[in-house]
């Protein structure tokens, strides 16, 4: 979406930039309620709301601003001259974005993945209205266990959450860290 918002001639691209930030500006419970009602009204069979795809969509939209704010500076650092040179050579807009802008911003996309994973792992607000017995979410399960005063289970979930976060950050550091060249 950042590519369309900042590198295209799309007429509503200014609104698209703002629309990517809106879900993060509203409280997570409101975002979860909006997804709940959207799924109820648009999916009467209730297959999307009760699935991991629906939860994933709600978490992705809720955390879109984090990915956007991490990806946009890398995209802005790539000069438009490269895009224009590809367009001059006969590539269309889509081909020049894929072959130049997105290829050069692969490290930024990987960084966005790490940031979004950690953010989604620690987020529980959008899931309050969407979670079912078949699709539990770790953050919401921790809140439910804390409300029932089961401290040991909450601590165990906290350790698991911390280990997952450290593992993803270590893998990200391994692939995205500084490399020493001779």
Q: Is the pLDDT assigned to residue 64 strictly greater than 70?
A: yes
70 part of a folded domain? yes
Domain holding 64: CATH number? 1.10.3720.10
Max avg pLDDT among 3-7, 37-41, 49-53, 111-115 = 37-41
Instruction: With a cut of 90, say whether residue 163 has pLDDT above it.
Output: yes
Q: Is 126 part of any domain? A: yes
39-60 confidence digits (pLDDT tens): 889 888 878 887 888 888 888 8
Whole-number average pLDDT of the chain: 82
Question: What residue has token string 């709940």?
Answer: 36
Give the number of residues written for the chain.
Answer: 182
Domain residue limits at 60: 2-176
pLDDT band at 182 (very low <50, low <70, confident <90, very high): very low
Asked if residues 51 and 135 have their Cβ atoms less than 8 Å apart, the reply is yes
Is residue 44 in a domain?
Answer: yes
In this prediction, what percent of the chain has a pLDDT beyond 90?
A: 3
Number of separate domains in the chain: 1
Residue 180, pLDDT > 80, answer no
Whether 182 is covered by a domain: the verdict is no
Long-range contacts for 128-132 (Cβ within 8 Å, ≥24 apart)? 128/29, 128/32, 129/29, 129/32, 129/33, 129/35, 129/36, 130/32, 130/35, 130/36, 130/39, 130/49, 130/54, 130/55, 130/58, 131/55, 132/49, 132/50
Inside any domain, residue 100: yes
The answer to the question of residue 86 being in a domain is yes
Whether 95 is covered by a domain: the verdict is yes
Residue 159's pLDDT band (boundaries 50, 70, 90)?
A: very high
Domain assignment present for residue 181? The answer is no
């Amino acid at each position: 979406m950042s590519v369309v918002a900042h590198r295209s001639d799309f007429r509503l691209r200014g609104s698209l930039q703002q629309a990517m930030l809106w879900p993060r500006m509203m409280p997570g419970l409101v975002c979860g309620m909006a997804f709940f009602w959207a799924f109820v009204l648009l999916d009467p069979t209730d297959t999307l709301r009760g699935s991991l795809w629906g939860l994933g969509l709600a978490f992705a939209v809720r955390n879109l601003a984090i990915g956007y704010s991490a990806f946009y500076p890398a995209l802005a650092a790539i000069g438009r001259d490269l895009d224009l040179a590809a367009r001059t050579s006969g590539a269309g807009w889509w081909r020049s974005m894929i072959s130049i802008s997105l290829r050069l911003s692969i490290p930024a996309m990987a960084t966005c993945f790490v940031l979004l994973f950690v953010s989604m792992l620690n987020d529980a607000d959008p899931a309050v209205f969407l979670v079912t017995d078949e699709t539990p979410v770790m953050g919401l399960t921790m809140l439910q266990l804390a409300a029932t005063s089961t401290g040991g289970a909450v601590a165990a979930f906290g350790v698991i959450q911390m280990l997952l976060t450290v593992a993803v950050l270590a893998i990200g550091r391994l692939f995205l860290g500084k490399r020493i060249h001779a």
